[in-house]
Amino acid sequence: MSSAYAALVLDIDGTLLNEQEQVPARTLQAIERARAAGVVVMLATGRSHKGVREIALQLELDTPCVVFNGAAVYDARRDQLLEQYWLPPDAVSTLLDFAQAEALLPVVSRPEAQRVRTPREDERELLGRFRNLKIVPFEALPRSEALRVTLFSTRHPDSAALHAQVVQAMAGRPAYYTHFALAALVGFRESDAQVVDVQPACQGKAEALRVLADRHGITAERVVAVGDAGNDIPILLAAGLGVAMGNATPETKLAARRVIGDNDSHALAELIEELFL
């Protein structure tokens, strides 16, 4: 392998997947050829491990995936979490009490399942992307061994406003926050809901760089990272080459050293071919 780069870390939604939520054939072929040439390919995503397994198996990846925005590391072949951070139970309780007081919809993610309080009729459409979701009374939402608490709001003007309130409610408790408009995701383009994910304190998707160094001896400057959203910014800034998709948010583009075409083009495949093949 002659490239200056030895590893490729890919976001999934808005990056690897097109608007039909598929990996384009040319991208799939480029990843296969890159791996055959010795490139280490990883996925780093805000998705749960349940939401990433099918894609990781499709790509035939033999490397672990960073999931829950860095809160866990997952081996798709063995369907096993290799590492995980936990939100302290008191932090989970604080978030759930805040959600109850502000009439937000909370989802608590644990390794075995994700749990949500009984949703109102107008909230049900917000839950379409969750896999292995269990509906329970609010009092039965778990406080321990939580990888993430997700809060949905349909009354905040933007996700930054919701995020600011959540941070204030947490009163300095250690956590890693990500936030976005639900309309950023395929299938929710018309939604006015805002989302805040609260994960245990970690490096976000930049945890992938630690995993690559620990498991493969690949330093950050030899890593290409590609993404489209605010939760990609930590790894785009820390990697040797941070690349934003053409459909990325303005903030994500500013954090990247390079901007390519959107996820409905051949831009990602062309980038892999250029850098690694």
Q: Quick count: other Cβ atoms within 10 Å of Cβ 263?
A: 23
Percent of the chain at pLDDT > 70 equals 99
Say if residue 15's pLDDT is above 80: yes
Written as one letter, the residue type at 217 is G
pLDDT recorded at residue 128: 82
Structure confidence by residue, pLDDT tens digits, 261-274: 999 999 999 999 99
3-class SS shares of the chain: helix, strand, coil, % to 5:
40, 25, 35
Per-residue pLDDT at 2: 54
User: In 3-state terms, what secondary structure has residue 75?
Assistant: strand
Nearest to 242 by CA among 234, 261, 24, 39: 234
Task: Give the pLDDT of residue 25.
Answer: 97
Global confidence as pTM: 0.94
Distances (CA, A) of 205 to 67, 96, 178, 219, 246: 8, 25, 11, 15, 20
**Sheet containing 258-259, strands listed edge to edge, beginning at the edge strand earlier in sequence:** 40-43, 7-10, 223-227, 241-244, 258-259
Q: What is the pLDDT of residues 96-140, one digit of tens each?
A: 999 999 999 999 999 999 999 999 998 999 988 787 899 999 999
Cβ atoms of 14 and 229 closer than 8 Å: yes
Name which residue leads in pLDDT, 76 or 3. Answer: 76
Q: What pLDDT, on the 0 to 100 scale, is given for residue 129?
A: 79
Q: Write down all domains in the chain, each with its CATH number in brackets.
A: 7-84+203-276 (3.40.50.1000), 89-199 (3.30.1240.10)
What is the sign, positive or negative, of the torsion defined by CA atoms of 226, 67, 165, 152? positive
Pairing mode of beta strands 258-259, 241-244: parallel
Question: How confident is the model over 43-70, as pLDDT tens digits?
Answer: 999 999 999 999 999 999 999 999 999 9
How far apart, in whole angstroms, are the C-alpha atoms of residue 204 and residue 238?
A: 11
Spatial CA neighbour of 64 closest among 210, 191, 203: 210
Rounded to whole angstroms, how far apart are CA atoms 264 and 160?
Answer: 27
Q: Where are the alpha helices (DSSP H) in 37-158?
A: 49-58, 89-102
How would residue 185 be classed by pLDDT, with cut points 50, 70 and 90?
confident
Q: Which two tokens stand for residue 54?
A: 């099918």
